Structure 1
């Protein structure tokens, strides 16, 4: 061996007694409690996993969008950042739809993306990522390809702290394959407090307005549940006898939906929101944008005589809100402070939301009958992860969620998230029954997540609501004067065969008479179980 080659080989190894980038990184991840890696392996990541530590777990997904969505559900279930490994530009590209959803979900993720060897980046090598830090933008809070191998552990530490800082979200570090064996100094773990407390004078204005209000109302968004503030919001609503609306398109349950003060779900339509809020003089928005619209509208954002106050931990949301006063604060801390402001007069209880009419079985299984039956049979403290857009309005009526952390859906509207997210949720919370409720169209975006569920032997129930088409697109098309859009009919899909082919038990039910017994079996299975439910179109 020539001296030149020998010296080059030595340069690729950590100094005697020192740590490599890989060793320093795994020590850091261990100190942060991030010992589960979600990934789909590729060549540029192999050096990261040399001598993979015995106390770490690798969770395999069969496609990168599935990998990232599983990590999303796991992170939400644990209230802690999850670690994702993606394969260079190709893997990040595959995961972009799920990355968009994680960003909208405000899920803390640390993504370590493989990159070709640093020694090859002067050209355009096979499987490299050009402008790796730019590729995932704008759907990451921060991304970086470190300038030196020695900077990799510190970059991952920074990515973690930024991911965990409100508003939480994904971050990405691109690491060239030959960085992992280079020497690096350990990165000491440290604590970064992320709680935000509002200025007293700002909250005093809100508290005084609430105390003097005659007919207050709250709008609650996903951040209430994310900040574990549901109990505090219930106490504040009861103190002021305020009606409570769920924010348009909210992805979490932030108020018990059978509570007498719960008013229902605001639609993503400006004029309809104004109509529903017309009787309230003070509106308090908690952890929700004002407002998320899905349909173009005109006119005012609020009724003319309604004053708006917003509590949010997201400065960007506060900045674009078009009306009212915004206060930056952690939701739970802000609501706790508002509990000190007593109402000036005793207010009567507002009208109670009427219960939906009981549905009797008919010839075929209707969405209403399905959700009514599931509400009766679902285990206590169970968790629903939903992605059945055509079923969601019916779920809002017939399948109420009663407690914090009982309901999750994708905040982005991008399909393919919830089936793998339910796998991650079941992995994070094995003591609770996780129920994925997904449409037939949605399920086909990420059906390979069933393989991961079977491989992990998770107690997961998957309910595929099969209406043989993209029903929500058909309904939405009517807003554009389109009777029947192209490309919305589905047929010939056999979800029982798809599930069994990946190692999951499965069954199908077609008639109302067999629904309850089929659901009982699916909800009691100790292993992944898919139930395909044929519903009326």
Structure 2
């Protein structure tokens, strides 16, 4: 379905500028916020901004990209970002890479000097604007004429939304925004495609023949809206369900009787976890993601494997098995019509989550157990505390789609501003950010944006005095001493209060419950610094 010039959205176009037409297109796409950190080469864009389009300010460019990333993931719509020329894009590149790995649809515009100055190597000149962000944008372009800017942004939007979704970039010279422009048609473009039905029929036959099929679910399940269909497929197959290594989303209810746990990111432990399976169906994840080198087979001997994903790179890069390219929700729903449901055995394969007694200090495990007891089940969790990830898996089950977000890239500095972006989406769903002390310092000024926009956000900073994940890896490698992993003399309560957030500190396990309850009952942006101990 096409919108044409007679559509009210695009009527009265006489005298419209490039900026006017771009804002019309943004409205048609549902992009009513611009996440940015302003600079002189972008000034004409956000000067006299239309009243129905708001500007969300972050105090550094990587912060605005992370805010937009989570905003896009939660809303399932594209987010719009404006960055300052080459320097601003350079600041943002770490989180542009994270957005690429998160598969977040972000339309990025960067400023450029005026066209008449470009031949003269001017100040704030972006020498290679389309090459600079590659390969971590799906498309980058600088239009040859000012009049081409709206069409370039329209193409960028549709490319960002096509699976696998991801960031795109358009460089816009300073003077282009005020130039006259013709109206732009808005095209409705489908972004969902199905697997080959003949391949699905063969897959269903093989699943029916398997004695012990197993599912491995990755972030693609939640991205594709396939949570419910995946649960029904697992129940029909009576298959255990594992989460792919280092998954950035939750794709299966973690208290379900069929939930088996989280696959490790190394061999041979990964294959040993799947040892009883004779058929492994991987949904929306690489086969497989590793963090440490290992030895042995990628798949247990004698087991067959099939991967379903709408990401061609995942299909091409799989180390074993057959690959089916298509939307995971459509594939799971199709398989449900083709397979023969198995009789429920009444077995409960889910992990037993132990209960820890109250204690003097606060361990990651005790913290997650206490927060799990108290938090609203509708809350959205944004996590970037690598040292405590195992404790999160063991003591903090996630049970609904869209309820958990982490960085897919492993890069730090994403979680805190991402939580602010998530909190801008749904005032009715409280957001809880769980951030390591080292991680928080990459983007601590995101707290200013949280206070400025009054988001309903609880930030918990788990303070273990340094880069605990690196310390743990060093211990396993028998290192006697590691430099650069200790962080001291920081007062996170003062840092948070200075930026306009209420803040408190807790170092006692016996006070943790009351501290968390008090802050969870509040509204607005607030911070709790939790001093961790190594007590067992």
Q: Give the C-alpha shift of residue 21 in structure 1.
A: 1.0
Q: Give the C-alpha shift of residue 299 in structure 1.
A: 2.4
In the alignment, does 2:142 pair up with 1:145? yes
- Residue 175 and residue 344 in structure 1: after superposition, are their counterparts in 2 closer, same or farther (change >3 A)? closer
SS in 2 for 1:462: strand
- Residue 344 and residue 178 in structure 1: after superposition, are their counterparts in 2 closer, same or farther (change >3 A)? closer
Q: Give the C-alpha shift of residue 344 in structure 1.
A: 7.5
Q: 1:167 aligns with which of 154, 164, 167?
A: 164
State how 1:241-252 maps to structure 2 within 5 Å: 241-252=238-249
State how 1:92-491 maps to structure 2 within 5 Å: 92-343=89-340, 346=343, 348=345, 352-491=349-488
Q: C-alpha distance in 2, partners of 1:125/1:75?
A: 35
- Structure 2 runs not aligned, ≥5 long: 1-12
User: Structure 1: which 4+ aligned runs deviate by more than 6 Å?
Assistant: none
Residues 320-370 of structure 1 show CA distances to partners (whole Å, capped at 9, x for unaligned) of 112100001101000000001333764745552331321112231111111
Q: C-alpha distance in 2, partners of 1:213/1:476?
A: 39
Q: C-alpha distance in 2, partners of 1:348/1:240?
A: 11
Q: Give the C-alpha shift of residue 28 in structure 1.
A: 1.0
In the alignment, does 2:48 pair up with 1:41? no
Preserved contact between residue 360 and residue 510 of structure 2 (Cα < 8 Å): no
Q: Give the C-alpha shift of residue 522 in structure 1.
A: 1.4
Q: C-alpha distance in 2, partners of 1:359/1:485?
A: 32
TM-score (norm 2): 0.96
Q: C-alpha distance in 2, partners of 1:490/1:348?
A: 51
Q: C-alpha distance in 2, partners of 1:105/1:485?
A: 31
Preserved contact between residue 236 and residue 341 of structure 2 (Cα < 8 Å): no
Preserved contact between residue 251 and residue 408 of structure 1 (Cα < 8 Å): yes
Residues 262-286 of structure 1 show CA distances to partners (whole Å, capped at 9, x for unaligned) of 0000011031111111100000000
Q: C-alpha distance in 1, partners of 2:497/2:258?
A: 44
Q: Give the C-alpha shift of residue 480 in structure 1.
A: 3.2
Q: C-alpha distance in 2, partners of 1:215/1:46?
A: 61
State how 1:19-58 maps to structure 2 within 5 Å: 19-58=16-55
Q: Give the C-alpha shift of residue 73 in structure 1.
A: 1.1
TM-score (norm 1): 0.95
Q: C-alpha distance in 2, partners of 1:482/1:419?
A: 31
- Give the superposed CA RMSD: 1.3
Preserved contact between residue 382 and residue 433 of structure 1 (Cα < 8 Å): yes
Q: Give the C-alpha shift of residue 429 in structure 1.
A: 1.4
241-250 or 115-124, which deviates more: 115-124
**Alignment size in residue pairs:** 522
